């Protein structure tokens, strides 16, 4: 079974600053995906960024990037130039690679507040 | 293109009753998964359906069941409701062969 741990229940960052959210996971699988999802007050889960475990290069999506350390089983999210709209719950998630979308295992989430 | 639609958005039920929640996936998506989100347990996987077949199931009691129709719409049913079933129920759909899951806005179930 897989476990995902997010050790920061809450974080705060000022607008335009950079913040890093931490995530560690445990698995015996070698082929998997890792995701960061954002859940704003509207409650809809929105995919922020995805990392394939077999790719060494860290994924980036505009202001969002990850630091994927496979050996350490660490997957942190860096948000650059933070914006008020980034205020949300952020969930780290693991998915075994079965060739298609399958069960996601989520961490407990980090509540991010972006302030003026 | 319409997103994942979950109905109803809010629901209040009494202990012992049963409830049915509906999820309409994005057009063309044949995989539908359900998750329960509570403050205490976080996000937990309930089950996944693909082409009307349950492909994966989480660790929930038999009171939780689901099904998928030929048009890929899915329903989940909870019988004999308990106070602890109060939660946000999220549905996600995905294309066959794709890894990205698209979520709906959820159904907030309150059991009183």
Instruction: Kindly give, in sequence order, each residue whose CB lies less than 8 Å from that of residue A52, ignoring residues fewer than 6 positions away.
Output: A33, A97
End-to-end CA distance of chain A: 41
What pLDDT, in 10s, does the model give residues B43-76?
A: 999 999 999 999 989 999 999 999 999 999 999 9
B109: nearest Cα among B8, B5, B34: B8
Q: What is the pLDDT of residue A99?
A: 74
CA B46/CA B58 separation, integer angstroms: 5
pLDDT tens for residues A27-47? 999 899 999 999 999 899 999
pLDDT of residue B109: 98
Chain A residues 34-73 with a CB less than 8 Å from chain B: 37, 42-47, 50
Beta bridge partners of A77: A21, A66
Residues contacting residue B10 through CB under 8 Å, at least 6 positions apart: B107, B108, B110
The string of pLDDT tens digits covering residues B10-39 is 999 999 999 999 999 999 999 999 999 999
pLDDT < 50 positions in chain A:
none
Question: How many whole angstroms from its chain centre is CA B101?
Answer: 13
DSSP H or E run through B68: strand B64-68
Shortest Cα–Cα distance, B74 to chain A (Å): 16
Q: How far is A37 from chain B (nearest CA, A)?
A: 10
Asked whether the beta carbons of residue B99 and residue A97 sit closer than 8 angstroms, the reply is yes
Mind listing the pLDDT tens digit for each residue in B91-107? 999 988 788 899 999 99
| Mean pLDDT for all residues in chain A | 95
| Whole-number pLDDT of residue B1 | 66
Q: What pLDDT is recorded for position B97?
A: 79
Contact B89, B21 (CB under 8 A): yes
Dist CA A93 CA A7 (whole Å): 14
């Amino acid at each position: 079974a897989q476990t995902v741990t997010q050790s920061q229940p809450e974080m705060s960052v000022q607008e335009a600053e950079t913040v890093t959210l931490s995530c560690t996971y445990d698995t015996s699988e070698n082929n998997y995906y890792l995701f960061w999802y954002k859940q704003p007050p509207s409650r809809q889960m929105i995919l922020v960024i995805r990392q394939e475990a077999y790719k060494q290069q860290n994924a980036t999506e505009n202001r969002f990037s990850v630091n994927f350390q496979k050996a350490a089983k660490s997957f942190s999210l860096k948000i650059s130039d933070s914006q008020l709209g980034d205020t949300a719950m952020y969930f780290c998630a693991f998915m075994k690679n079965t060739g298609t979308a399958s069960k996601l295992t989520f961490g407990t989430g980090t509540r991010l507040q972006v302030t003026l | 293109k319409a997103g994942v639609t979950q109905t109803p958005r809010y629901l209040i039920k009494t202990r012992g009753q049963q409830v049915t929640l509906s999820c309409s996936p994005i057009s063309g998506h044949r995989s539908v998964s359900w998750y329960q989100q509570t403050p205490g347990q976080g996000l937990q996987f309930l089950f996944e359906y693909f082409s009307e077949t349950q492909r994966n199931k989480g660790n929930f009691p038999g009171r939780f069941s689901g099904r998928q129709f030929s048009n890929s719409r899915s329903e989940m049913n909870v019988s004999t409701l308990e106070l602890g079933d109060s939660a946000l129920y999220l549905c996600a759909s995905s294309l066959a062969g794709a890894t990205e899951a698209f979520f709906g806005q959820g159904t907030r179930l309150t059991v009183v």
